[in-house]
């Protein structure tokens, strides 16, 4: 059944594309790049169109770009070369005159940068997650102490091994075992939120100390790293990245996405008025579904609104 | 058509008995990893448990509802809320964490003293056998004083949760101990 349905839709798609090409004089990619608003609506449409392409040259191009981004080679001057090559392949295959359609060249190139930049970002985030937190590594240790200083600027840590870690929501007296499968990514996420969004992070940390609705800041944070990674991997997060990123997406943008999730989760948690921390998995699941729903709207913009009760 | 038939067949074979398994132990003992192994899920992305996780697994004609409760000190007071109707208590020990061996023993015997867990079979997983600094299951058993337990059936099983070694053997014992009841 599915095969027949698939056959008809793909057949109909070809007929419709041929018809539109004849009447408008533009190929599908051009119609998208001129017709769709910039950001997620346009980039996602280009991505879909490229993935459905039957042209062997386009298929080869896609495989090449996948390989480049999986190996983190989409960078600096190489990136410009690669984008140029990708655009000229499409111009050639679709017989587009770049002098007339210079706007297409510009728009399409931006889309390619975002589509494969996202893929590259996923590879980068995964490699950071794969680095286990190692207390023999001075760099890792320095980052951990930085996290303390950023979150507790007025309190000195008595000792590297200390019950005080629980004040910022680690489980015991040594955070090293708490990063688990999220590795260095979990620590980098927390550190970014604590240093780049100082006020919002302080705000969230103070909520985590609430006598009734309190929770473990760092542990919840590490669980949110897992959620952010999950949304990135499933592709649900594309709306966020395609609408926020102006150039090649970097790891900073992932940290920003994480910070947004953390800030919003805290708000949602308090709204839910949970009786105790045992409600965490239920509330987390509901929160994740809400985020997924809002990411389905390709026009959505996500920002931390720090107008709240900071006074 | 085939899909529908196999669904119908599965429905007819639906397990007769639902069982409640409770996974407890200190933080970083490996409870969530064991839970994921039981459910045949990827274990490389585990995070510390805030609250609890639950999964249902069908095994040996039983539908096992496995409750994995966070092990950090702040959460331990909530453990007792999950005792009722437990069929098997699974206690997980990090065999390489010698510093907290005493702490984990105290927590275990406190559990065994609770009325709601009376007569409930006890399975102890001596986890992390892959680490060179780990104690063997016999040493763990000795250190915890498991031999003083006379009021229920119990078993200790060496395991390495991250690669699944020993988990199945433990579960087989758990299912057997229920059938005997």
Distance CA(A6)–CA(B117), nearest Å, equals: 56
Domain count, chain A: 2
Q: Which of A171, A276, A278 sits opposite B27 (nearest CB)?
A: A171
Indicate yes or no: CB of B46 within 8 angstroms of CB of A180: yes
The pLDDT value given to residue A1: 65
> Is residue A310 in a domain?
no
| pLDDT per position as a tens digit, A111-125 | 999 999 999 999 999
**Is A302 within a domain?**
no
Interatomic CA distance for residues A226 and A223, integer angstroms: 5
Phi, psi of B123 (to 5 degrees): -115, 125
Give the residue-averaged pLDDT of A30-38.
93
Same domain, A193 and A101: no
A219 touches chain B (CB under 8 A): yes
Contacts of A277 in chain B (CB under 8 A): 50-51, 70, 74-75, 78
pLDDT digits (tens, 9 = 90+) for B126-163: 999 999 999 999 999 999 999 999 999 999 999 999 99
Q: Which stretch of A24-38, A56-70, B84-98 has the lowest confidence by average pLDDT? A: A24-38
Task: Assess whether A145 and A256 both reside in one domain.
Answer: yes
Residue A202 lies inside a defined structural domain of this protein: yes
> φ and ψ at A94, to 5 degrees?
-90, 5
Percent of chain A with pLDDT strictly greater than 90: 86
Q: Are residues A181 and A81 in the same domain?
A: no
Whether residues A175 and A211 fall in one domain? yes
Residue A308 lies in a domain: no
Residue to mutate among B2, B51, B68, B100, with most A CBs inside 10 A, is B51
Same domain, A125 and A142: no
Distance CA A130, CA B45 (A): 10
Over residues A143-172, mean pLDDT? 97
My answer on whether A206 and A243 are in the same domain is yes
- Tell me the pLDDT of chain A averaged across its residues: 93
Q: What is the predicted ipTM?
A: 0.88
pLDDT surpasses 60 at A302: yes
Mean pLDDT in residue range B21-39: 97
Rounded Cα distance between B142 and B89, Å, is 19
Q: What is the pLDDT of residue B4?
A: 58
Is residue A254 pLDDT above 60, yes or no? yes
pLDDT band at B12 (very low <50, low <70, confident <90, very high): low
Read off the pLDDT of residues A202-251 as tens digits, 9 standing for 90 and up: 999 999 999 999 999 999 999 999 999 999 999 999 999 999 999 999 99
**Residue A185: closest C-alpha in chain B:** B45
Residues A172 and A166 sit within 8 Å (Cβ to Cβ): yes
Report chain B's C-alpha Rg in angstroms: 17
> Which of A90, A105, A129 is the C-terminal boundary of a domain?
A129
Q: Does A67 share its domain with A147?
A: no
Calpha distance A154→A152 (Å, rounded): 6
Residues of chain B positioned with their CB less than 8 A from the CB of A223:
47-48, 50
Contact A181 B44 (CB under 8 A): yes
For residue A181, pLDDT beyond 50: yes
Query: Does residue A204 share a domain with residue A249?
Result: yes
Rounded Cα distance, A200 and A214, in Å? 16
CB B63 within 8 A of CB B10: no
Residues 82-141 of A with CB under 8 A from B: 129
**Helices and strands (DSSP H and E) totals, chain A:** 13, 0
Q: At residue A201, does pLDDT exceed 80?
A: yes
- Quick one: how many helices (H) and strands (E) in chain B? 5, 6
**Closest residue to B51, CB basis, from A166, A171, A277:** A277
Residue A214 lies in a domain: yes
Residues of B serving a catalytic function are 72
pLDDT band at A310 (very low <50, low <70, confident <90, very high): very low
Q: Range of A269's domain?
A: 138-295
* A56 and A7, same domain (yes or no): yes
In a domain? residue A306 = no
Pair (A87, A224) in one structural domain: no
* Interface contact A171-B46, CB threshold 8 A: no
Burial of A78 from C-beta contacts in 10 A (0-12 / 13-18 / 19+): exposed
Of A129, A148, A169, the position where a domain reaches its end is A129
- Whether the predicted pLDDT of A255 surpasses 70: yes
Does residue A52 fall inside a structural domain? yes
Going by pLDDT thresholds of 50, 70 and 90, the confidence category of residue A7 is confident
Residue B7 has pLDDT above 70, yes or no: no
pLDDT at residue B10 greater than cutoff 70: no
SS3 B69: strand
Q: Which tops the pLDDT comparison, A25 or B97?
A: B97
Is A145 in the same domain as A120?
no
Q: Which of A129, A160, A187 is the last residue of a domain?
A: A129
**A231 plus A84 within the same structural domain:** no
8 Å CB contact of B74 and A280: no
Taking CA atoms, what residue in A is nearest to B28?
A177
CB-count burial class (<10 Å; 0-12, 13-18, 19+) for B122:
buried
Q: Is A304 inside a domain boundary?
A: no
Q: Yes or no: say if A145 and A153 are a contact pair by the CB < 8 Å rule.
A: no
Q: Give the closest residue to A240 by CA, choosing from A264, A223, A219.
A: A264
The rounded percent of chain A whose pLDDT value lies above 70 is: 97
Report the pLDDT value the prediction gives residue A311, as an integer from 0 to 100.
33
């Amino acid at each position: 059944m599915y095969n027949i349905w698939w056959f008809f839709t793909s057949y109909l798609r070809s007929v419709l594309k041929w018809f539109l090409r004849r009447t408008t004089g533009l190929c599908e990619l051009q119609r998208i790049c001129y017709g769709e608003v910039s950001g997620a609506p346009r980039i996602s449409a280009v991505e879909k169109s490229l993935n459905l392409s039957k042209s062997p040259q386009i298929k080869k191009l896609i495989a090449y770009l996948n390989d480049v981004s999986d190996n983190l080679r989409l960078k600096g001057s190489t990136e410009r070369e690669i984008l140029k090559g990708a655009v000229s392949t499409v111009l050639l295959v679709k017989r587009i005159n770049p002098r007339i359609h210079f706007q297409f060249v510009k728009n399409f190139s931006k889309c390619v940068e975002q589509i494969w930049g996202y893929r590259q970002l996923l590879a980068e985030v995964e490699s950071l997650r794969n680095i286990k937190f190692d207390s023999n590594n001075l760099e890792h240790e320095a980052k951990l102490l930085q996290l303390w200083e950023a979150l507790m600027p007025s309190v000195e840590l008595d000792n590297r091994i200390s019950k005080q870690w629980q004040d910022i929501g680690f489980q015991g007296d040594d955070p090293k075992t708490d990063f688990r499968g999220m590795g260095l990514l979990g620590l980098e996420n927390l550190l970014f939120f604590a240093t780049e969004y100082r006020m919002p992070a302080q705000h969230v940390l103070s909520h985590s100390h609430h006598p009734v609705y309190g929770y473990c800041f760092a542990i919840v944070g590490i669980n949110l790293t897992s959620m952010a990674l999950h949304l990135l991997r499933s592709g649900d997060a594309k709306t966020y990245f395609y609408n926020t990123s102006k150039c090649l997406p970097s790891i900073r943008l992932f940290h920003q996405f994480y910070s947004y999730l953390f800030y919003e989760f805290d708000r949602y948690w308090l709204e839910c008025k949970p009786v105790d921390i045992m409600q965490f998995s239920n509330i987390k699941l509901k929160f994740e579904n809400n985020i997924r729903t809002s990411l389905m709207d390709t026009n959505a913009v996500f920002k931390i609104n720090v107008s709240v009760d900071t006074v | 058509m085939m899909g529908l038939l196999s669904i119908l067949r599965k429905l007819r074979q639906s397990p007769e008995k639902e069982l409640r398994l409770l996974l407890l132990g200190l933080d970083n003992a490996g409870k969530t990893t064991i839970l994921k192994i039981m459910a045949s899920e990827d274990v490389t992305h585990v995070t510390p448990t805030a609250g609890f996780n639950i999964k249902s697994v069908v095994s040996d004609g039983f539908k096992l509802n496995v409750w994995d409760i966070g092990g950090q000190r702040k959460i331990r007071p909530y453990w007792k809320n999950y005792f009722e109707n437990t069929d098997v208590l699974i206690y997980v020990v990090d065999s390489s964490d010698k510093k907290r061996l005493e702490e984990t023993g105290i927590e275990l015997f406190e559990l065994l003293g609770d009325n709601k867990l009376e007569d409930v079979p006890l399975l102890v997983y001596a986890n992390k056998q892959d680490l060179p600094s780990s104690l063997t299951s016999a040493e763990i058993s000795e250190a915890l004083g498991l031999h003083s337990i006379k009021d229920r059936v119990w078993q200790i099983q060496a395991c390495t949760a991250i690669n699944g070694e020993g988990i199945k053997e433990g579960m087989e014992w758990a299912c057997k101990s229920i059938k005997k009841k």
